[in-house]
Amino acid sequence: MKKIISVILAVVMCLCIIPAGVASAAEMPELTEYGFVENNGVKIEYGIYGDMSKEPLLLLPPNGGDMHCFDGSILPEMSKHFKVITISPRYTGNSDMGDDGLTFEIMSDDLIVLLDELNVEKTKIFGFSDGGNLGMVFTVAHPERVESLVVMGSNINPLGTKVFDQIGIIWKYLGLMIKAAFTGEAEDIRRRDIQGLMVYQPNLTFKDLQTIEVPVLNIYGQHDMIKRIHSKRITKNIPDAQELMIVGGGHGSCFDYTDTIINPALLEFYGVTE
């Protein structure tokens, strides 16, 4: 039977001194290691925070986000308990674009190269939005490399996005397509392809999710851009998955309720008691 975590935001906010909408003010830890790995000539940027001897936790940013996406939110707290690995997916940060286009499958291959280079046999994963999509794609393809998975505001296909939001995504993509076709500039192509991820991908099925055997926590906001029925079906189709709906929360709740909800939920899920 699936464990459903229920959060009543009004009660939480009465108990907390940090108001809703304020991200974590925790001081950023020092960068323990910084570098690049190379996958078929494409350089991928990464950084590591925290104690190198602790268990690894891989953070996967949202669409267009880089390795610094979680600097002001969950990274400071997580780095106290884990060796936190951050990454700039291709097309973002100081990573290369490459000539193969942009898909979750290609980015999943980049993650394998990264983990191999860092000698990480298994890792915990937290992914927000497209980062969560990538986390699910990676876990389905490489279950032996995943210790546990937390996804937030994630979908397994474009139909999981609310219609109004998806129309806006497609409209923006069409504009970027036209601009890239006229200019041919690398920056316009980069923006077009990043936007295109939300138009055409991911392409998982609920049957794919049924093969996931690692512990999973699925987080989403009450007012998320992902359809609630879609989020609930994700939880239902992953064996023994846990679910957290943030009452009053939107798509970016990991940035709005970092200290009040997200960090405590993550530490509980990961079994951190100190």
What's the confidence (pLDDT) of residue 241? 98
Q: CA-to-CA distance for 249 and 94, rounded, in angstroms?
A: 31
Question: What CATH number did the domain enclosing 24 receive?
Answer: 3.40.50.1820
Q: What is the extent of the structural domain holding 15?
A: 4-157+203-269
171 shares its domain with 61: no
CA atoms within 13 A on the CB side of 45: 15
Are the C-beta atoms of residues 145 and 124 closer than 8 Å to each other?
Answer: no
Q: Please report the pLDDT score of residue 21 as a whole number.
A: 36
Within a domain: 180:
yes
β-partners of residue 87 are 46
Residues 174-203 pLDDT 10s: 999 999 999 999 999 999 999 999 999 999
Residue in this structure with the two tokens 């009543």, named with its chain if needed? 8
pLDDT at 26: 66
Asked whether the predicted pLDDT for residue 23 surpasses 60, the reply is no
Q: What is the pTM of this model?
A: 0.90
Instruction: Record the tokens describing residue 136, joined without a space.
Output: 């699910």
Segments of 80-131 assigned E as strands: 83-88, 123-128
Average pLDDT over residues 40-67: 97
Contact criterion met (CB below 8 Å) for 63 and 129? yes
| Amino acid residing at 177 | M
**Domain co-membership, 55 together with 128:** yes
pLDDT at 16 over 70: no
| Model confidence pLDDT, tens digit, residues 111-145 | 999 999 999 999 999 999 999 999 999 999 999 99
